[in-house]
Amino acid sequence: MKKIVKSILLVLIVLSSTFLAQTAEMDNDSKKIYNEGNKLRKSGDYAGAIAKYDEALKLTSDYRVYYNKSVTLKKLRKYDEAEAALLSCIENKKDFSSAYNALGGIYFANGQYSEAIEQFEKFKQYSDQDKHKEKADQYIAQAYTKLALKEKSDNKYPKAVEYLLKAVDHAKFDKAYLALAEVYIDMQKWDEALEAGDKALNYRKKISKGGPNYFKGMAFKGKGDNVKAKECFLAGKNDKTYGQNCKYELESL
């Protein structure tokens, strides 16, 4: 969770720095105060920056003031206030894609994954940059995976599969494929588990090889192919997370 929030924050920093000079729609007084707030934020004086943004908001309702205020509030971990600032930002500029991205990040951090997906979808909809659309798909995939894991923990396997298929439809997310392999094992859908395990290996970025090999081994065991099952368990026996499970299965074959 921390990684996605950090990734979103990096996008926000880049985007907010772009807006510093884009104050043509403000009058001179509000522009001056707004830019003073930006300077304070960049220097690390977040409380001072917020005070300046609030001062500027008495003169203008420009969406950029709300947006930069939200970025600053997030640095102070005042997420409820940051959410309120973002909603005001969107109210003043419905097609401002970065606000949806930031709002999605807050909801994701709070475990509100369905709400996060909705905002990331809007981020993707309103952005005209391919790299932002790609990022949005990655965030959506991670949020769907989180939803799926909750359904799996409640033994609601069909719903978990539904969410995981939506996840990989947005991005080739290795953790989603790994979770899909595990759910299919629980459902005794051996061929589907093998396919998901292969894709987890093919698209592997963060996960180790042990998980996919363990679940592939379990699928081959379920199909009665102990030779291939053994090959998979051997491939995963030194894994930190799945190694003991693989060794146990090897001893039981």
Percentage of the chain modeled with pLDDT above 70: 91
Each residue's pLDDT tens digit, 6-35: 555 555 544 444 444 444 578 899 999 999
Each residue's pLDDT tens digit, 37-49: 999 999 999 999 9
Which amino acid is residue 43, in one-letter code?
Answer: S
Average per-residue pLDDT in the chain?
92
Each residue's pLDDT tens digit, 61-94: 999 999 999 999 999 999 999 999 999 999 999 9
Which pTM does this prediction carry?
Answer: 0.88
Each residue's pLDDT tens digit, 188-220: 999 999 999 999 999 999 999 999 999 999 999
